[in-house]
Amino acid sequence: MADLNIDFAGIKAPNPFWLASAPPTNTSYQVMNAFRSGWGGAVWKTLGQPIVNVSSRYGAIAYKNNKMMGLNNIELITDRSLEVNLKEMKEVKEKFPKHALIASMMFEKKEEWHDCIKRCEDIGVDGFELNYGCPHGMCERGMGSAVGQNPEVCERITSWVTEVATKPVIVKLTPNVTDITKPALAAQRGGANAVSLINTINSVIGINLETMEPNPTVDGFSTHGGYCGPAVKPISLNMVSEIANHPDFHLPISGIGGIETWQDSVEYFLMGATSVQVCTAVMHYGFRIVTDLIEGVNEYLDKNKMKSINDLCGITAKKMRKWEELDLNYKVIAQIDPNKCISCQLCYIACEDGAHQSIELVKDSRIPKIKEDTCVGCNLCSLVCPVESCITMVKVNTGKEKLFWANHPKNPDKTNEKISLKK
């Protein structure tokens, strides 16, 4: 069986599955229960100056069978005192010395950062996570995403921390930026040992049409919140790949955002992460989901004859290219398996009204027919078909050489140089 132990930027843990800084890491009671259930690490709910929370504070988008496809919150950092948090964190570390306990924090002043770092090191935490991500409340006070959105400030505050911390420092990035590589590189310049991403995405989750009030409502009013859960995974995967592929970025990455199943976590590893963090799925289903994460990843590694998470790291990130580096002569077309088709005609409608009019209904046949000469291979019909593997995309041998945009006759800036890409 593969070995799931990790050394993430110097932080050792029995496995790469950590709880993200959020309500599941509010208390020692919860974190110890999580470790007993199998979680390898926990990032404590963000420490900072005293705050007060509002009520209510969560909203969700339900889609089909998932009641929390997307979760939105207007909660702030921990609402318990630093003393109580430190006492409980110490208790956890004493009972679970081999598990990773990370102190998340956000402060305004250098002295506050230094003081909290020292107190956390005194109780034996394994590392720090600097929360530059909260998109509401804290950013209005110059913290959270206000830091993550400004690379200069991100670098400066990171260096305040790294000049005193003796334990590894992870910078947690906000996705509410245009180019995620800028704050990631700033964190690296500031001396960080790793980055984690994403924190939550600016959002308004919805409106109650009876009352016309925004959700979640605080006495009839609301504020924009942070979006997370399964809906955000594609956004985070893209950001993780952008950082992993940046030629100047060399730090380990902890992937966060929409992880619910072992397959989700494998996608993050393939995109370049070497640990993952989970919040919404635990808030939805509890700590027990870690059993599926551990078993699934173990089996996947074994099946692929791999020994550790590091063997998976970044395999798919290397397959991400710029659009102009994709072969324009590669072609697939749709193919319907007549034995699986249930004649629902969803593919026909989708292609007719929403794509390229390349499926026809044939008289006296219940199976629609693909017009192979006009099908552009867009995938839409296979996406809408309700039957698994009924429509597949098959490769067409065009007999043509690879052709990239740089050499395409329609490109006004066409070069005569042939582009050759690494495998």
Q: Which of 225, 196, 205 is nearest to 138 (CA)?
A: 225
Phi, psi of 417 (to 5 degrees): -80, 140
Residue 281 or 385 having the CB closest to ligand FMN: 281
User: Which residue's entry shows tokens 């997370």?
Assistant: 228
Cα–Cα distance measured from residue 78 to residue 231, given in angstroms and rounded to the nearest whole number = 25
Integer Cα distance of 235 and 217 in angstroms: 27
Q: Which of 199, 201, 200, 195 is nearest to 275 (CA)?
A: 195
Choose, from 116, 120, 134, 347, the residue flagged as catalytic. Answer: 134
Q: In 108-239, where do the E strands start and end?
A: 127-131, 169-172, 194-197, 201-203, 207-208, 213-214, 225-228
Burial 155-166 (b: 16+ CB within 10 A, else e): bebbbbbbeebe
Stretch that binds ligand SF4, among 93-101, 128-136, 236-244, 368-376 (CB under 6 A): 368-376
Residues 183-242 that bind ligand FMN (CB under 6 A): 199-200, 228-229, 232
Nearer to ligand FMN, 170 or 309 (CB): 170
The stretch near ligand SF4 (CB under 6 A) out of 63-71, 180-188, 270-278, 337-345 is 337-345
Q: Interacting stretch for ligand FMN, rule CB under 6 A, among 67-75, 89-97, 180-188, 312-320?
A: 67-75
Residue 343 binds ligand SF4 (CB under 6 A) = yes
In the complex, least distance from residue 77 CB atom to ligand FMN, rounded to whole angstroms = 5
According to the binding rule CB under 6 A, does residue 16 interact with ligand FMN?
no
Q: Which does 84 bind (CB under 5 to 8 A by kind): ligand SF4, ligand FMN, none?
A: none
381 is catalytic: no
Amino acid sitting at position 71: L
CA distances from 300 to 27, 303, 413 (A): 33, 5, 45
> Contact between 380 and ligand SF4 (CB under 6 A)?
yes
**Number of residues in contact with ligand FMN under rule CB under 6 A:** 27
> Among ligand SF4, ligand FMN, none, what binds residue 341 when CB lies within 5 to 8 Å by partner kind?
ligand SF4
Contact map string, positions 91 to 110, toward ligand FMN, x by CB under 6 A: -------------x------
Q: How far is the CB of 199 from ligand FMN (least distance, A)?
A: 5
Classify 218 as helix, strand or coil.
strand
Q: How far is it, in rounded angstroms, from Cα 138 to Cα 197?
A: 18
Nearer of residues 156 and 340 to ligand SF4, judged by Cβ: 340
The full 3-state SS of 251-287, as one line of letters, equals CCEEEECCCCCHHHHHHHHHCCCCEEEECHHHHHHCH
CA atoms lying within 13 Å on the CB side of residue 84: 10
Residue with tokens 């698994």: 388
Q: Does 165 bind ligand SF4 (CB under 6 A)?
A: no
Residue 20 binding partner per list ligand SF4, ligand FMN, none, with a CB distance cut-off of 5 to 8 Å that depends on partner kind: ligand FMN
Binding residue (CB under 6 A) for ligand FMN from 14, 168, 175, 257:
257
Q: Does 264 bind ligand FMN (CB under 6 A)?
A: no
**Closest to 313 measured CA to CA, from 247, 260, 235, 245:** 245
Q: Are 243 and 253 in contact (CB under 8 A)?
A: yes
In the range 155-184, which residues lie near ligand FMN by CB under 6 A?
172
Instruction: Based on the shown chain and the rule CB under 6 A, indicate whether residue 344 belongs to the binding site for ligand SF4.
Output: yes
Angle between helices 290-303 and 262-270 (to 10 degrees): 50
Any idea what DSSP says for residue 325?
G
Q: Does 345 sit near ligand SF4 (CB under 6 A)? A: yes
Quick check: 76 binds ligand SF4 (CB under 6 A)? Answer: no
Among 34, 44, 359, 404, binds ligand SF4 (CB under 6 A): 359
Residue of the chain from 341, 369, 406, 407 that contacts ligand SF4 (CB under 6 A): 341
Give yes or no for residue 346 binding ligand SF4 (CB under 6 A). yes
Longest Cα separation, the chain: 80
Instruction: Please report, as ranges, the residues that interact with ligand FMN according to CB under 6 A.
Output: 20-23, 45-46, 71, 73, 75, 77, 104, 131, 133, 172, 199-200, 228-229, 232, 256-259, 278-281
In the complex, the residues that contact ligand SF4 under the rule CB under 6 A are 334, 336, 341-347, 350-351, 355-356, 358-359, 368, 370, 375-381, 385, 387, 390-391
The catalytic residues are: 134
